[in-house]
Amino acid sequence: MGLRVLRRRILITLFLTLFLVFSLSFRLAWLQFWRGPELRVKAQASSTYAVPVQARRGDILDQKGRILAISMDMDSLWANPNEIPPEEVDRVAAALAPLLKQDEKSLQKKLATPSAFVWLQHALPDETATAIRKLELPGIHFTRETGRVYPEGMLAANLLGFATVFHAFYGVEQYYDKELKGEEGKILLKRDGIGREIPETTHEYIPPKDGLNLKLTIDATIQFICERELDRAMESTHAKAAYAVAMDPYTGAVLCLAQRPSFDPNHYSDYPQETYRTQAITDSFSPGSTFKPITAAAALEEGIIRPETGLYDSGAYTVLGKTIRNWNGVGLGPTTFATAFAESANTVFARLAVEVGKERFYRYLEKFGFAEKTGIDLPGEVTGIRPRQDKATDLDLAIMGFGQTLTVTPIQMAAAMSAAVNGGKLYTPHVAAAFLDQEGRVVKEIQPEMKRQVISEETSAMLRRLMARVVDEGTGELAQIPCYPVGGKTGTTQKVVGGKVGGAYIASFVGFAPVEKPRVVLYVAVDEPQGMYYGGQVAAPLFQAIMRDVLRYLDVPPQCGPEDLPVEVPRQDLVETPNLVNLPLAEALSAAREAGFLAVIQGDGGIIARQVPAAGAKVPKGTPILAYTDGSSPAEGDLRTVPDLRGQTVREAARILHLMGLRLEMDPDSTGVGVAQDPPPLKKVPPGTAVKVVFRPPGEAEEGSANQSP
């Protein structure tokens, strides 16, 4: 019995031993063969730590190779807290805090973290890095990273965006971040069980892959011209914002994309965040009369009308019980479509849109790209807004026909106008021209992308001639450039705020030059100009100033001989108004005249008590100064005396009324001199009253009377 029990125990022990040996063998085999690679990686990871090595971010160049954004090597600071003795943490933090301009307690917390790697600060200035090295602090290390620098400051800032060490924001920096940033490298260091670096061990270096350089379609000189003129327009009009988009109509390449206000990407944190956006693609507004060429294109392409087609414009067009009127009431009378186009008759374009019909009108909206994003290679693009086709009425069509009740972006308008004048081909706008490696070799070239044929070449040619007439003899006369045939269209749009039409305006102009073979299409807009706000008076001169210098820069030959070139008139600089306050009338008139100003005396007193503009205000030389005598200075809410505006140009009338606290009301595309007004001269009215003035070309002005109502 005892022997049998002993045998049983021996067998059980043997069985258990064999089972244990088999289990351990299986476990070892499983760990070695099945999980071996995984465990080797974990073991290596636990005994090593990686110091990241940033790739060099690619440069951004203009089309001529001029650097707009560049990356420069800088020292970045990191710490290995495991190498810092606990009793040294406070001393190290106290030494670093003033140099890094960081809170000492925050640094203490970082340096006491149970970790082998903690970032302290990126992209240190050279003098700071040198000072830290001299301290020879334990556990403190450096690595090289690249910091972003924009050599041209604010130039093309909204197009470029900006980049930090880890992220890219806005513009091409964000859109092409993957291509520009490259691939990060690393240095692998060995460490012991408590995280300390093992001296004299082999460090593995995995080099970074540098990013590609990006060449843009933007020309820095053209961009500079656009931004310079926007600055001048902002100064002279005190506008809320201004935009300019220039494009090669035959490729969709963007030559300039500028806006004001803007920011300096080298110091982006000093500027409001709303200045970062590329508003030419992120904001939309009603195009106004700049949209009329699109309505004309649809009607011409469908054979509904031709430039020489005779019309009778009564000055009013009624649709669904609502009457659309022209500014002069009686309209153009017997005329042609070419003349109606040049004179920007709303009634004619309203009728055309209705005749084109809803289905065809919406089809042309889609063909010209107003129903979709243009596809430009920049982030944040939006589409415009228009009435739903299934809900649109003939009244909607009529109003859209002259550019209201729908919104577009500046880039959509520039692309559509390019298609209208280049033979009918719609191209995708683009700002990237090519990607280059660090040796300057082309890795990828961006080819023009034609989306579709929108209209025929014949229709496009008719549009070019119609728009040339607008500049030659219509509402766009201030866009004329000596010896360069120019085509274009003015626009004045009353802004909609909170779903309601407000009192602010956007003045715009879209045009091209030369007429028969356009080199450049340019769209400009001035948002909420103060005083004068009409496209023909505010935006057309802005277009002219930009286009003139761009054509010269591109060496586009003038189409006239040297003897035909007019003498250049220097740009009118802003001058300070003289101080007329407390002067007797005779002295005030003399002082104003000597300074180059006209003083308009208000009141019967003998001493000047107040003047508008105030003394020292910077205004164009010749601006009228309203000088109020003692006892006549208008307090808030007092009545104003309506001036006689007979014989005054649109610009002069608007300036005088603005200075008196009154508003000018007229047809947006009017030209010539004042012939009639309501209220009449000398009538007393409250501040802010609108004075409706009829303007006619000088030859017709003699037939009018300043005392007539429009």
- Gap between the Cα atoms of 216 and 156, Å rounded: 11
Catalytic residue among 76, 262, 284, 289: 289
Q: Residue 289 catalytic?
A: yes
Q: What is the DSSP letter of 530?
A: S
Instruction: Name the phi and psi angles at 200, rounded to 5.
Output: 60, 30
**Peptide bond preceding 679: is omega within 30 degrees of 0, i.e. cis?**
yes
Distance CA 466, CA 452 (A): 23
**Strand positions, DSSP E, 419-553:** 425-427, 432-436, 442-445, 450-453, 487-497, 500-513, 520-527
Both tokens assigned to 185: 């490298």
Under a CB-based contact definition with an 8 Å cutoff, are residues 539 and 525 in contact? yes
Alpha helices in 266-313 (DSSP H): 279-282, 292-301
Minimal CA–CA distance to 434: which of 377, 373, 380?
377
Nearest CA to 415 out of 405, 429, 404, 425 is that of 429
Question: 655 near 624, Cβ under 8 Å?
Answer: yes
**Alpha-carbon distance 621 to 576, whole Å?**
8
Output the six-digit token pair for 323: 């009457």
H/E segment holding residue 699: helix 698-701
> 152: which DSSP letter?
T
3-state SS, residue 102: coil
Angle formed at CA 28 by CA 24 and CA 29, multiple of 5 degrees: 115
Q: For 563, which DSSP code?
A: G
153 Cβ partners below 8 Å, 6+ apart?
Answer: 264, 266
Is 43 buried (19+), middle (13-18) or exposed (0-12) by CB count in 10 A?
A: exposed
CA-to-CA dists, residue 215 to 172, 178, 207, 281, angstroms: 11, 15, 25, 21
Q: Can you spell out the DSSP letters for 351-414? A: HHHHHH-HHHHHHHHHHTTTTS----SSTT--------TTT--HHHHHHHHTT-S--B-HHHHH
Spatial distance between the Cα atoms of 123 and 76, rounded to a whole number of angstroms = 5
**Active centre residues (catalytic):** 289
